[in-house]
Amino acid sequence: MGCRQTLPPRAVCITFDDGYADNYEIALPILQRHQLHATFFIATGYLDGGRMWNDTLVEAVRVAGDTLDLTSLGLGTYAMTDTAARVRAAKALLKLLKYLQPAERMQKTAEIAAVIGQKLPDNLMMTNAQLQALSKAGMAIGAHTMSHPILLRVSDQESRREIEGSVSRLRELLGHDISTFAYPNGQPGKDYGLRDVENVRRSGIKAAVSTAWGYANSSMDVHQLARIAPWDKTPARFALRIFRSYFGAPPVLV
């Protein structure tokens, strides 16, 4: 894939990960109003009523009573005194579960939901129809695996199945080739490795993005492009992080 040097100075690519319904319901109208284009990376296993493991956890914490007792699951007890306490509990549990094997992670979050004993929302992710409408509106659609595993924690066979399965499903739904991919969680060497980069290349993907913080440039591996996440505690801190990324050393990839 040659570099034609055709982008204007300070060009920006807008990306969204996972496939949440608000990407279609809220982000799309804003993008259209400002005549902007974006790429949406979809974890295909959660379309049409699915719920990502982290959302099961967050929603369970949100509706829990004054105390969340997960000692039977080996996850401790959490006092839910206010919103800040719920946020702390969610962050602590997400940290405990994120790097488990995918099947164990799903099982643990299902067990947490069972402890809560309340119906959790099943409309957080896009429907197939919304995804198709997003594509017809001129937005680009990329693959993001099927179940959003930490690729470095699964076997080579499972890595290939997750990558190729998401590409295949999107082709089936949209009727055209899929050329881009985003690594789940996306930290080089921590969430994915060279094996996974090769699996992405072999699937026919032309470009892939990580979450290595920095600006993409023509010297970077086109299957490990850096990105800048648009969040921070304050606008000033976010601006400082952008400044440091622009003038600092390029991110370390695998």
| Predicted confidence pLDDT, tens digits, the chain (254 residues) | 455 677 787 788 999 999 999 999 999 999 999 999 999 999 999 999 989 999 999 999 999 999 999 999 999 999 999 999 999 999 999 999 999 988 899 999 999 999 999 999 999 999 999 999 999 999 999 999 999 999 999 999 999 999 999 999 999 999 999 999 999 999 999 999 999 999 999 999 999 999 998 888 888 999 999 998 877 778 888 888 888 777 777 787 88
- Enter the tokens of residue 97: 């579960």
Distance from C-alpha of 72 to C-alpha of 177, rounded to nearest angstrom: 47
Reading phi first (left if > 0) and then psi (alpha if -120 to 50, else beta), residue 64 is in beta
Backbone angles phi, psi at 213, to 5 degrees: -80, 115
pLDDT score, position 139: 98
pTM of the model: 0.91
The superfamily (CATH) of domain 14-49+123-247 is Glycoside hydrolase/deacetylase (3.20.20.370)
Distance from C-alpha of 213 to C-alpha of 228, rounded to nearest angstrom: 5
pLDDT score, position 116: 92
Kindly list the strands in the beta sheet with 180-182, ordered across the sheet, starting from the edge strand earlier in the chain: 14-18, 38-42, 140-143, 180-182, 207-213, 225-227
Pick from 206, 213, 242: which is nearest to 227 by CA? 213
Residue 103 C-beta-side C-alpha neighbours within 13 Å: 3
User: Tokens 């999107």 identify what position?
Assistant: 170
pLDDT score, position 155: 96
Residue 80 C-beta-side C-alpha neighbours within 13 Å: 16
pLDDT score, position 4: 67
pLDDT score, position 224: 97
134 CB neighbour count, 10 Å cutoff: 24
pLDDT score, position 237: 86
How far does CA 156 lie from the centroid of its chain? Answer: 20
